[in-house]
Structure 1
Amino acid sequence: MNAPLKQNLPALAGGGHVMAIVPQTFEETFRVAKAVYLGGLAPSALIGKLEGDAAISAVTVAIMSGAELGLKPMVALRSFTVINGKPALYGDGLINIVRQSGKVTYLRTGCEIRDGQMIGWCEAKRNDTDEDKRVEFSQEDAVRAGLWQTEAVVTKWNKWDKKNEQKPNDSPWWRFPQRMLAWRAAGYCLRELFGDVLGGIRDEYEAREIADAEEIRDITPRKEPPAPPMPPDEGVTIDAATEPEPQREEQPFDSTGYFEAMETALAGANDEATVEEIWTDLDPDGTFDGDDESRGIAQKIKDRRLSQINSEIGG
């Protein structure tokens, strides 16, 4: 009886240097993105509600955006998010790209207490031009920008049940104020000093605030063109005396003016009771009945003013 043949399998080797898989063409990039998506590794913040080829395309664009900044594919997916259709970097991703550029002599960030106020700071220097910069973003700056959070529980609008609810404050400005101050300072500092490296990419939190501001400004409803007049039926004469008067074209509701009036009215409120009184008088629930998007914008304006009032009281 013959002995079974032994398969000559290659020996496993250890200690080798593992290289990242970096696609060189669009087709290769799309294949990597497809593998990431099918493997369930695509970040939800990146693909949102997209599915299939649309989700794969979003991952592909993120990988390509990262490649332009010198990031390997999987690092790019961990560093990028998409806000209002625009790519943005997480705070640590912004710092990582600058460090990897090879143009940094030093880059330091931190947060300190000065006169009872938190001060986030970032200082850096280029090694090719010897330019240096230090930028600070203080607690007072955050309060003035309407970012500072002081309440552990906040009022949020439940669009499903159509009512306000008290919920734990999940804002990063409440949970990680020192880190947020430092990252905001880093965003300003690094974009000014290393604009050629970052290529105009903003950090996540600044991009989100810009998107919220654009959402409030861009609220004018689109005006549908009027239907062309229909000719009268043949053989039918219209008596001028009985001809109906032309109907006036109904003007669309001026949402922009409404929100501007709301912001102006709330700016004069100095306590929560006055805010609620103004809210009741303007009646956004009835004004935007069935329009959850506009109702949500009104709620953001109200929440922002309440946050400013609470900050002023706490200060």
Structure 2
Amino acid sequence: MNSHVPTLTGGGNVLAIVPQTFEETLRIARAVCASGLAPSALIGKLEGDDAAAAVAVAIMSGAELGLKPMVSLRSFTVINGRPALYGDGLINVVRMSGKVAYLRTGCEERNGKMVGYCEAKRLDTGEEKRVEFSQADAERAGLWQTKATVVKWNKWDKKNEEKPNDSPWYRFPQRMLAWRAAGYCLRELFGDVLGGIRDEFEVREIADAEEMRDITPSAESVESKPTPPKPPKPPAPPSKTIEAKAEPEKQAEEPASEFVLGDFLDEIETALASAKDESDVEEIWTDFDAPAVLESEGHADMIEAAFAIKSRRLAALSPLNGG
């Protein structure tokens, strides 16, 4: 009988493997990819070092928030190079910080419409806050979904397609209202804990709006940001001077201004960025009359993109309105 053979015992402490350097992080990321444990939502169609890099970004982003590597992979995704937490991940990070006296989220009904809420209090400072994000807020921001099928832009085939509505706002409206309220509440109350990290859905909406706006970028829009257009000046009265006779020739030499879709959408976004509240947004939107302009210029398929820019600005103003 061999008395030196070790035996298995229960109750031992299991420690997570936490990398200390970038090289160690990348080694773990490669192992995760090779094992097939990398979340598909994180790496998408990436392969090799590109997939490992996405995993490494998620691990490093989680480490800054005190999350262990595998917890980070379950809590983080990367959208257009921006790390973002899933809705419940945002809440979990705050809870794990040890700075929470209480944190409650939920959704209730008022006058036949849903209202999501988040209320929390800091343990260290005693600060407390409650933020609501209602169905009306979601409708105003262009997030609310009620149709079983939607028209989406296919960036590969460059055309709109009708597809089943897989939006979480259509499938899980109560959860989304609560998570959106939590995002605004927790980022303001626990900004030191989250370090500017946003939730997945807000980052994705921002990325989608930017992608729609940049479908037809022009060289001019890349080089410089145009200022909002000014109303055209009324034509000058005809004159009998010699200089006035040469004016038509000068006008004939100058080509008529060409409508550039990318510039027009940039102008809308620049103007809306100066809006301080919803009334300003509506006033600027009315001045541009984007739907009519786009339709008259043969770009009716981009009306949705213009509305997305407006919705993005309204969403950015929502924390001020709800706080």
Per the normalisation by structure 1, the TM-score is 0.71
- SS across alignment from 1:196: helix
Does structure 1 retain, via aligned residues, the 8 Å contact 2:54–2:78?
no
> 2 CA distance for matches of 1:70 and 1:28?
17
Alignment CA distance shift 1:35-1:280 (3 Å) = same
> 1 CA distance for matches of 2:151 and 2:209?
20
Aligned to 2:31: 35
More helix by share: 2
Residue 303 (structure 1) shift? 8.9
Q: How many residues align?
A: 263
> 1 CA distance for matches of 2:169 and 2:190?
26
Aligned to 1:146: 142
Does structure 1 retain, via aligned residues, the 8 Å contact 2:107–2:178?
yes
> 1 CA distance for matches of 2:177 and 2:146?
15
> 2 CA distance for matches of 1:256 and 1:41?
40
Q: In the TM superposition, what are the counterparts of 1:29-108 in structure 2 within 5 Å?
A: 29-108=25-104
Aligned to 1:229: none
Alignment CA distance shift 1:161-1:221 (3 Å) = closer
Where has structure 1 moved over 6 Å in runs of 4 or more?
Answer: 248-253, 277-280, 302-305
- Segment of structure 1 superposing worse, 90-99 or 60-69: 60-69
The two structures, once aligned, show a CA RMSD in angstroms of 3.7
| 2:174 aligned with 1:168 | no
| 2:250 aligned with 1:254 | no
Q: In the TM superposition, what whole-angstrom CA distance separates every residue of 1:134-176 from its partner, at most 9, and x where no partner exists? A: 0000111111111111112223345666665443211111110
Does structure 2 retain, via aligned residues, the 8 Å contact 1:125–1:131?
yes
Per the normalisation by structure 2, the TM-score is 0.70
Q: In the TM superposition, what whole-angstrom CA distance separates every residue of 1:249-291 from its partner, at most 9, and x where no partner exists? A: 9998612345579x979x979xxxxx8x998754449xxxxxx
Q: Whose radius of gyration is greater, 1 or 2? A: 1
Alignment CA distance shift 1:201-1:28 (3 Å) = same
Residue 220 (structure 1) shift? 3.7
| 2:115 aligned with 1:119 | yes
Does structure 2 retain, via aligned residues, the 8 Å contact 1:83–1:208?
yes
| Structure 1 gap segments, 5+ residues each | 226-247, 270-274, 286-294, 306-315
| Structure 2 gap segments, 5+ residues each | 224-253, 269-283, 311-323
Alignment CA distance shift 1:165-1:84 (3 Å) = closer
The code of the aligned residue for 2:197 comes to I
Aligned to 1:230: none
Does structure 2 retain, via aligned residues, the 8 Å contact 1:155–1:303?
no
Aligned to 2:14: 18
> 2 CA distance for matches of 1:160 and 1:199?
35
Residue 186 (structure 1) shift? 0.2
